[in-house]
Amino acid sequence: MCLFLANQAWGNPNAARLGDDLTPFGSLRAGNAEGSIPAYSGGLSAAPEGFEAASGYWKNPFQDEKPLLRIDANNMHEYTDKLSEGQRKLLKTYPDYYMPIYPTHRTAGYPQHVLEATKRNASVCKTARDYLAVSEACRGGIPFPLPANGYEVMWNQMLSYYGETAIIAPHNRSWSIDVNGTRTMTADQKTFSERTFYQTALADRDPQMYWRTYSITQAPARKAGEITGLLDFIDPLAKPRRAWSYTAGQRRVKLAPEFAYDTPVASLGGGLLFDELFVFSGRMDRFNFKYLGTREMYIPYNNYDLYTPSERCNGEGQFTGTHINPACERFELHRVRVVEATLKEGMRHAYSKRVYYLDEDLSGAALVDAYDHNGELHRTMANTMVQLYDHGIPWAVRSHTYDFNKRMLTVLGDFYEGGFEVMDEPMSNRSLNPEAVTARETVR
């Protein structure tokens, strides 16, 4: 008996619309009636003049654009339907904070073979185990271009296309800013991230694995040399997350099963939970995920100033007081898919509910509002994106999260020092096991 027929009927009557009135990955091709959201035209693939491919940075193709409007605490009531509760609370909490709204550009673009596999997935990609797993048949393309429920929307986010090699950042810095505006660099890490879900031609990969990442701490000094790694699988009940750690003082690799769910990430000062990494990370078994449909919202998009140093934004210039410098941010009007996650009866978690607003073009750009057990808004996250136009990769790994209880800001993914590199070829599976990683990365 085939396990992966459990949650879906075979085929999808709307599959023929992919590439027609729908994009090849399932969003509406047309713009909106007002013209404030343009029609999709294939994404951004042309590099702007002056782009240096080997620099580690991607030049902002929209650097000369000016904001169309500015939303602050005084006028936000005019745009309530296009703002999340978290955005509204930010504007109320920080009197000098504002949101600059720029023209919308639907830049998310993908290689042709990924689009072809995505259209195939509309008919063959299945879920199982009460939507907690997906089949190996989904590999190579975005799994659910026509999502039928909240779990499928979340699988699309977790299995976003990040290329078929690895992306390495020599200095991935994280920051914590407290209520007094004191800034602490909680970690400076070299990071390696590989979306194995799209590596269909590599015979040495476990076909169940979809993501592998590890990070080597370079600062602060007391943590230097520590390494943490995560491997996730498309059937997490059969193959749970394999998390590991290496402590320089002990010189031992140990499994770390606690790196999951609502365990705080120590290298981020505890300001982010493990299942909040990159919007959502890990197993979906503690929440019910309900798809609420689509709506138009102002979300972070084409945030090149937050990934690449510019005249207005650099290491210190990215902050103002206790929040992100609004001059470094960019918001655009996009259609989003809304998913409400509510804690299951009998389950434990730091949150009772989360609401996800995920870009319909599957770029990874997102907003997340998280609520405590009193029903109060606890945290809000903005996950920013840039299109790596020379690789056909929407890259969405820099987030900033506001904790309203502690009045604290946590920033993940400051690449201002060193940028990042898309590898030309995948590394062998043998060279990426924990023992090989620690031997290679700790020899100086």
pTM for the full model? Answer: 0.96
Check residue 142 and give its pLDDT: 98
Which residues are CB-neighbours of 340 under 8 A, at least 6 positions away? Answer: 150, 289, 290, 292, 353, 354, 355, 356
Q: Is the CB of residue 141 less than 8 Å from the CB of residue 18?
A: no
Check residue 386 and give its pLDDT: 98
CATH number of the domain at 72-442, out of 3.40.50.720, 3.30.9.10, 2.50.20.10, 3.55.10.10? 2.50.20.10
- How large is the C-alpha radius of gyration of the chain? 21
Check residue 443 and give its pLDDT: 66
List per-residue pLDDT tens for the chain, 444 residues long: 333 333 443 457 789 999 999 999 999 999 999 999 999 999 999 999 999 998 999 999 999 999 999 999 999 999 999 999 999 999 999 999 999 999 999 999 999 999 999 999 999 999 999 999 999 999 999 999 999 999 999 999 999 999 999 999 999 999 999 999 999 999 999 999 999 999 999 999 999 999 999 999 999 999 999 999 999 999 999 999 999 999 988 889 999 999 999 999 999 999 999 999 999 999 999 999 999 999 999 999 999 999 998 888 988 899 999 999 999 999 999 999 999 999 999 999 999 999 999 999 999 999 999 999 999 999 999 999 999 999 999 999 999 999 999 999 999 999 999 999 999 999 999 999 999 999 999 865
Which own/partner pairs from 29-38 qualify as long-range (CB within 8 Å, at least 24 positions apart)? 32/296, 32/335, 36/104, 36/333, 37/104, 37/106, 37/296, 37/333, 37/334, 37/335, 38/104, 38/105, 38/106
**Alpha-carbon distance 366 to 334, whole Å?**
10
Count of helix runs (H) and strand runs (E) in the chain:
5, 20
**Alpha-carbon distance 163 to 160, whole Å?**
9
**Alpha-carbon distance 253 to 232, whole Å?**
18
**Alpha-carbon distance 271 to 319, whole Å?**
17
Q: Would you list the domain boundaries of the chain?
A: 72-442
Check residue 2 and give its pLDDT: 38
Distances (CA, A) of 419 to 231, 305, 442: 24, 12, 22
